[in-house]
Structure 1
Amino acid sequence: MSVFGLLNIFKELPAFEQLVTELDEKKAVPALTLPKSGRTAVLAQLYLQRRVPVVLLTGKVESAAAWIQALETWLPPGDVMRRLPEPTPLPYDRGPWSERCRADRLTVLTRLMAGQHPQIPAADMPPLIVTSARAFLQKTMPKRRFMTNTRVLRLRQIIDLEKLLKMWRGIGYEAVSVVEAAGQFSRRGGIIDIFPIATPFPVRIELFGDEIDTMRYFDPATQRSIQHNGSSSTES
């Protein structure tokens, strides 16, 4: 249950308004000596009132999960909060990362890039990212490389299909006969299926010549359409 409506009380507190003003003016703000019970409410109201991306960094992995659970009570319904997860291997190990971890981290980067990439408009609400120090210390790709390897496809767009398929292979997507997992794509004549890393479902693209005629999500288990989609992006 969300109780974010109670946050309006902060607007009547002079100390809170002074804090917002200092943050807007980019002044140095001393550490807030708040009781644990009030920290989530203050953070939620700061995020909702200032409408800027927020990164909440915790010292422990388990603390990040606890913050997410607590913030869900104070934030309005919607997809605004994201977790930047920790890879299973420790920072000094060279073990493989899980597909879910890579997808979630790329989703966070995509959300942060909204409004900066020329083809991805800014979201109504910027993201609130919750992460641990361990996850935060993991290196990621440079911003320029991430933006260069992001492609946005839209309805009625004219594409060079062979060039597009070559680009997908170049950034690590796997060509398969049936798309079932993230990072895969397939081609059957003028029908292209692709499962972008940062989307919950794969996308089926139907072409009319070189023009994108329809785009829709589909269930990889049944291969049946779920809903129409106006655009889709792919990331390396």
Structure 2
Amino acid sequence: MELKQLIQIFSEHPARYSIEKYLEQKKNFQLHLKGAIGSSLSLVISALSPSKRPHVLIFNDKEEAAYFYNDLCNLIDDKSVLFFPSSYKRSVQYEKTDSSNIILRAECLKRLTSDQHPTFIITFPEAIVEKVITQGQLEENTLSIKVGEKLSPEFVEEVLVDYEFERADFVVEPGQYSIRGSIIDIFSFSDEQPYRIDFFGEDVDSIRMFDVENQLSIKKFESVDIIPNIQENLLKESRISFLSFVPNNTIFWCKNFQFSCDRIQSIYESTIEKVPFLELGEDRVSTKDYLIDSKEFLHQINEFSILEFGQKFFLAAQEVIQFNQSPQPAFNKNFDLLGQELMNNNAKQKATLFFPIIRNKSKGYTTYLKIKELKLNSKM
């Protein structure tokens, strides 16, 4: 069975129609999704009709969110799926930032302010607890460059210095730039590869993204936005919660809502106790100004439509959408048990589907599609 056939099965599922009925509404709603096992939720989402409304999915932790992100990237256009991590390697309370995570966060914020909103943003409590800069401040600290416009290379370098970019012979990481004659290479904090800006006098002649390792062009662009390190270089800017940043029509999907609330509160309390102040050169600012607690999270998320899923439910629901699924049994390499399961499925008129492990080398995650049994009728 091809993947598109599997998605088609889920597109005909009654629960999918029930979800879409609410997604078409303009007013907010709260739903419970029960009985969705393994990777079935990603299959249901991939079967939904395309929507211009952003969807934010909150999972229990980074690993779980990463697995789901990779599932969804394999099922739908990965340009429509973004990962929103913490700015830090583990969590804000450990104070060690990760440049790759900062890039991913900046990419999400940049896309949310553009005309093309991402369809899905995958995240977890450690990322949600950190506040972000406002949309206005993001725009003020963004250098936009377009092909054909008059722009002095000296002005571009001046802006990059203000953004605290470092000049280098060759750019290899975000926050660096290099100048060779009429060419400026810039590694923005909102992209995974740097840009090469070619000037003809004071006219922008071309913009290309290129590979750091082989210096070969990857893609041409008509315009590009250069964003500084929004986590460290803009710490003095006022901050808002991520929930205040996203558009009002955003749909939130939350696994084990109570767990997310408790986890956000735990991170908030342990961080302000361990790191009460952030050091900004000679200045010190309160850590409280850069985090949200569970009370603020709960107050703000109630302003959005929410689909709650998982094992436990916290919010009152307008409707419970039920999936008729069960976990895959553990065979522990016992082929006799596997054979017996196949015979039992056949006797119950169930179709058994085998899925290989999908390795996405570019993303670095392994996907396990765990849906093994699909009933021959429409009830899953």
Post-superposition CA distance 1:142-170 (Å, at most 9, x none): 22111221222121111133332222221
What does residue range 174-185 of structure 1 map to in structure 2 within 5 Å? 174-185=166-177
Contact 1:22 1:29 (C-alpha < 8 Å) held by counterparts: no
1:197 and 1:2 mapped to 2: Cα distance? 38
Match of 2:135 in 1: 143
Contact 2:16 2:47 in 1 (8 A): no
**Two-structure CA RMSD over aligned residues (Å):** 2.5
Match of 1:19 in 2: 19
Q: 2:320: which partner in 1? A: none
In structure 2, the partner of 1:119 is none
After TM superposition, the structure 1 = structure 2 runs for residues 205-220 of structure 1, keeping only pairs within 5 Å, are: 205-220=197-212
Deviations 1:160-207 (A, max 9, x none): 333322222212211223222221112233221111122232222121
Deviations 1:74-113 (A, max 9, x none): x2344221211232153333x2312111111111212222
Unmatched tracts of structure 1, length 5 or more: 116-121
1:80 and 1:11 map into 2 onto residues whose CA distance is 19
Q: Secondary structure at the match of 2:133?
A: coil
- TM superposition shift of 1:4: 4.1
1:107 correspondence with 2:99: no
- Deviating above 4 A after TM superposition, structure 1's stretches of 4 or more consecutive aligned residues are 9-15
- The verdict on how the C-alpha distance between 1:101 and 1:19 changes in structure 2, with shifts beyond 3 A counting, is closer
Q: Does 1:3 align with 2:7?
A: no
**Bigger relative contact order, structure 1 or 2 (CA pairs below 8 A, ≥6 apart):** 2
Aligned to 2:54: 53
1:196 paired residue among 188, 191, 215: 188
State the match for 2:277 in structure 1: none
In the aligned structure 2, how far is the partner of 1:23 from the partner of 1:186? 47
**What is the match of residue 358 of structure 2?**
none
The 5 Å alignment of 1:123-142 reads 126-142=118-134
The equivalent position to 1:41 in structure 2, one of 26, 43, 52, is 43
TM-score (norm 2): 0.53
Name the larger-Rg structure. 2
SS of residue paired to 2:170: coil
Alignment partners' CA distance in 2, 1:168 and 1:62 = 35
Render the CA deviation track for 1:106-161: whole Å, top value 9, x for unaligned: 1121222221xxxxxx26xx331111111121222222111221222121111133
Contact 2:81 2:119 in 1 (8 A): yes
Structure 2 alignment gaps of length 5 or more: 229-380
Question: How many residues of Structure 1 are paired with residues of Structure 2 in the alignment?
Answer: 225
Identity %: 26
SS of match in other structure, 2:178: strand
What does residue range 84-103 of structure 1 map to in structure 2 within 5 Å? Answer: 84-86=84-86, 87-93=88-94, 95-103=95-103
- Residue 81 of structure 2 is aligned to residue 81 of structure 1: yes
Report SS of the residue matched to 2:105: helix
**Where does residue 238 of structure 2 map in the other structure?**
none
Give the conservation status (yes or no) of the 8 Å contact 1:111–1:127. no
1:187 to 164, 179, 187: 179
**In 2, Cα distance between the equivalents of 1:205 and 1:72?**
30
Change (3 A) 1:194 1:227: same
